[in-house]
Each structure stands twice: as C-alpha cells, then as structure tokens.
C-alpha cells in the first residue's frame, strides 16, 4: 500500500516513515498526529497531547485483545502500568482514556510513564527528512523545515510541542482516511510478525463503536428451541427457552473477533456476564458444546430448515449437511482439532480460564 502522491509535495520521504521500525511508536505517533490535526486547523500540537493519544490508541489492542507488541516495546509496558495506577477500564474508548490521563498529569507516576514517550519518537520520526541521531541537532534542523519535513520541534521550558509544516496541512486533511489506512496497514504487518498465530489482527487495532448484530444467530437458536424444545445450558444445566437467554461466544470474541455460528450458543445471562472474555475449560465444556452444536444441526436439517447462516460452518471445512451426517465421535474430534489450538494460542497471549 502506498500513500497518495501530491503535485505540491514530494511524498517519498513521508512514504519512508515506517521503513526502519523496531517498535510500535512511530505508527501510533503518526496516527495520533493525524487524529489531532483532523479536528483542528491549529498547526501547533502539544507533545503531551500526542503521547496521551498514543496510549489511548494502544489501550484497546493491548488490554482487550491481549496483542503482543514485541519484547522491546516500551509503549506496551507503559500502557500496562498505567492500567495498574489509573481507574481506566480495559474496554474504555479513546476519548475517555485521553480525558482521564489529562486529569492525572499531576500524578508523578502517570507523568513519569508518559514522559518516556517524549524522549525519542518525536525526533526519530523525522529521520527520513533529517539524517541525524542527535536530538539537539534534530530540534535545530527541524526548525528550518529541512527537506520540507513534516513538522518542526520546539522545546521551551515546560512547553514541548511540534509545529506542523503549513505546506503539509492541506495534504494531511485531504488524504486523512488513506493515510490512516496506510498507518494501520503497516502496523498490522508489524504486529502480525509478533503475533503469528493470532486471527483477525486488523479487527483488533481499533475499538468498534458497536458490535455486529447477532439477530441471525439468535433466530437460528430460537428456531432450534421451537422445533426441539428447551436447550440445556452447558454451564448451569438449566433449561433455556426462546428469548430467555444470552448468546455466548464459546471462545471469547476478544480473541476470535468473529460471530460465526460454530462458536456461538445460548447460555444463562448471568453466566455470559461472568465468563466475559475468559476461556472455557475445554476438558469440561468442549464435549458438551460439541454435542449441543451437533444436535442443533441435525434438528434443523432434519426439519428442512436450512438458513443461510449455516454457511458459517464452511470455514470448518465441511458443509452443514456433512457435519450433520458425522457420528458424534468424529464431530467431537473435529471440534477438538478446531478449538484446542485456538485455546492454546489464547493462553499463550494471557487469556485466562474461567472458573464457574
């Protein structure tokens, strides 16, 4: 993926901002500058505002999705430590995180952690334009807008800010969406190397404003209950009736990032809340889950019910009818081959097993 060209600007250097990256700083630095600039025509941006936005943007993929940023990434450690000393929830949105951190700047522990991000990335980000590893020299040369660099650096007593190059302002505004996609695309490639077996990384970088509707999945299970009667919750053993249950992602959505039917089942509302983003104990619950899934497929197909959502099972390598025709042992073996590796990867990432 390439950035847009410009008749007014040489974009080659901007296209090289992620050429040499060993950590996530540059990605989140650029994303945060774009977001702040998009809401204002003011070219002066306080560095503290940028690093707070960096933390806020990194918060959700680290805390909710448990993505690894690599062993040498200080941003990951900073976000983890800030969670320990602030009341910010793991699934808080970006604005909430920014507001809380700004209010906590008087806390020396918070300020010390954020200050780490002001040390290198503001200077190193300009390396495609200015070839120096000396911060003082970078600051001075940036103020001449050498090679038409993206911004200049200014450090005056307690005031540390960047001044965006006016010649870049219109370009950043006009191509905001493409530049954001470019930054997240490169971040995805970076994180995929460090999370090689983790599914759907692009879906785990930004907190969704709202989750997808589960209406089709709920209609499926309602029909199963209408045809075959109440379903017994695999966790509590209690009967579940149409409209009186919650849909549970057997493997948590925060890991799989999908709503495919083969990972969904009805459960008691209290259980769904208690289990949250934790893993089920496969030794206890996977045989029960597989039996329930197999039962529902057979029931629906035997009663000539073939809703489109049954196509979800194709991602397991079989049609719904082929799965229905399996004996119980082979169906369970398929689910074991599917869920055991997923479970192990999730455990390696830090997800914990839920205890009922």
Asked if residue 288 and residue 150 are part of one domain, the reply reads no
Q: Kindly tell me the burial class for residue 1, based on how many C-beta atoms sit within 10 Å of its own C-beta (0-12, 13-18, 19 or more).
A: exposed
Could you tell me if residue 4 is inside a domain? no
Could you tell me if residue 210 is inside a domain? no
Could you tell me if residue 229 is inside a domain? yes
**Single residue among 154, 181, 204 that ends a domain in this structure:** 204
Q: How far is CA 193 from the centre of its chain?
A: 15
Could you tell me if residue 8 is inside a domain? no
Asked if residue 151 and residue 266 are part of one domain, the reply reads no
Asked if residue 197 and residue 279 are part of one domain, the reply reads no
Do 3 and 179 form a contact (C-beta atoms < 8 A)?
yes
Asked if residue 248 and residue 134 are part of one domain, the reply reads no
Could you tell me if residue 355 is inside a domain? no
Contacts of 53 (CB under 8 A, 6+ apart): 28, 32, 35, 36, 94, 98
Mean pLDDT, all residues of the chain: 93
pLDDT at 71 > cutoff 90: no
Could you tell me if residue 336 is inside a domain? yes
pLDDT at 272 > cutoff 80: no
Overall domain count for the chain:
2
> Which structural domain, as residue segments, surrounds residue 177?
14-204
**Single residue among 204, 235, 259 that ends a domain in this structure:** 204
Q: Name the nearest CA neighbour of 312 among 189, 216, 247, 194.
A: 216
So what's the pLDDT on residue 91?
Answer: 85
pLDDT in tens, 275-333: 888 999 999 999 999 999 999 999 999 999 989 999 999 999 999 999 999 999 999 99
Could you tell me if residue 354 is inside a domain? no
Do 106 and 87 form a contact (C-beta atoms < 8 A)?
no
Torsion of CA 78, 164, 8, 131, to 10 degrees: -60
Residue scoring higher pLDDT (208 or 164): 164
DSSP state of 206: S
Could you tell me if residue 7 is inside a domain? no
Residue 332, both tokens: 């369970």
pLDDT in tens, 26-69: 999 999 999 999 998 889 999 999 999 999 999 999 998 889 99
Asked if residue 100 and residue 186 are part of one domain, the reply reads yes
Asked if residue 223 and residue 80 are part of one domain, the reply reads no
Asked if residue 261 and residue 148 are part of one domain, the reply reads no
Distance (Å, whole) CA 113 – CA 128? 27
So what's the pLDDT on residue 270?
Answer: 86
**Single residue among 204, 225, 256 that ends a domain in this structure:** 204
Asked if residue 63 and residue 86 are part of one domain, the reply reads yes
Asked if residue 195 and residue 268 are part of one domain, the reply reads no
Asked if residue 186 and residue 124 are part of one domain, the reply reads yes
Asked if residue 337 and residue 192 are part of one domain, the reply reads no
Asked if residue 240 and residue 192 are part of one domain, the reply reads no
pLDDT in tens, 208-258: 777 788 999 999 999 999 999 999 999 999 999 998 999 999 999 988 889
So what's the pLDDT on residue 153?
Answer: 97
Q: Which of 47-70 are b and which e, b meaning 16 or more Cβ less than 10 Å from the residue's Cβ?
A: bbbbbbbbbbbbbbbbbbbbbbbe
């Amino acid at each position: 993926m390439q950035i847009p060209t410009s008749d007014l600007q040489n974009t080659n250097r901007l296209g090289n901002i992620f050429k040499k990256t060993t950590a996530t700083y540059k990605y989140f630095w650029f994303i945060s500058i774009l977001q702040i600039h998009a809401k204002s025509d003011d070219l002066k941006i306080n560095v503290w505002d940028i690093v707070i936005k960096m933390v806020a943007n990194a918060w959700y993929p680290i805390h909710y999705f448990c993505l690894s940023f690599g062993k040498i990434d200080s941003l990951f450690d900073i976000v983890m430590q800030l969670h320990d000393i602030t009341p910010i929830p793991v699934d808080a949105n970006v604005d909430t995180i920014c507001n809380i951190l700004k209010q906590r700047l008087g806390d020396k522990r918070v300020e010390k952690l954020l200050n780490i991000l002001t040390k290198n990335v503001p200077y190193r980000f300009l390396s495609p334009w200015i070839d120096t590893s000396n911060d003082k020299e970078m600051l001075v040369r940036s103020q001449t807008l050498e090679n038409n660099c993206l911004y200049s650096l200014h450090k005056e007593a307690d005031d540390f800010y960047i001044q965006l190059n006016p010649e870049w302002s219109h370009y950043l505004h006009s191509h905001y969406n493409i530049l954001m996609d470019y930054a997240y695309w490169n971040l995805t490639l970076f994180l995929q190397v460090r999370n090689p077996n983790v599914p759907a990384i692009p879906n785990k970088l930004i907190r969704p404003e709202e989750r997808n509707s589960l209406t089709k999945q709920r209609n499926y299970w309602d029909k199963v209950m209408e045809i075959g009667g109440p379903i017994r919750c695999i966790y509590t053993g209690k009967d579940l009736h149409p409209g009186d249950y919650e849909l549970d992602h057997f493997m948590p959505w925060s890991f799989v990032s999908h709503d495919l039917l083969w990972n969904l089942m009805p459960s008691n509302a209290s259980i769904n809340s208690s289990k949250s983003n934790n893993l089920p104990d496969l030794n206890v619950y996977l045989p029960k889950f597989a039996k329930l899934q197999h039962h529902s497929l057979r029931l629906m197909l035997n009663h000539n019910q073939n809703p489109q959502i049954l196509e979800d099972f194709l991602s397991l390598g079989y049609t719904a009818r082929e799965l229905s025709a399996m004996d119980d042992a082979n169906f369970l073996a398929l689910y074991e081959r599917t869920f055991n590796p997923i479970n192990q990867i999730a455990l390696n990432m830090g997800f914990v097993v839920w205890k009922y």
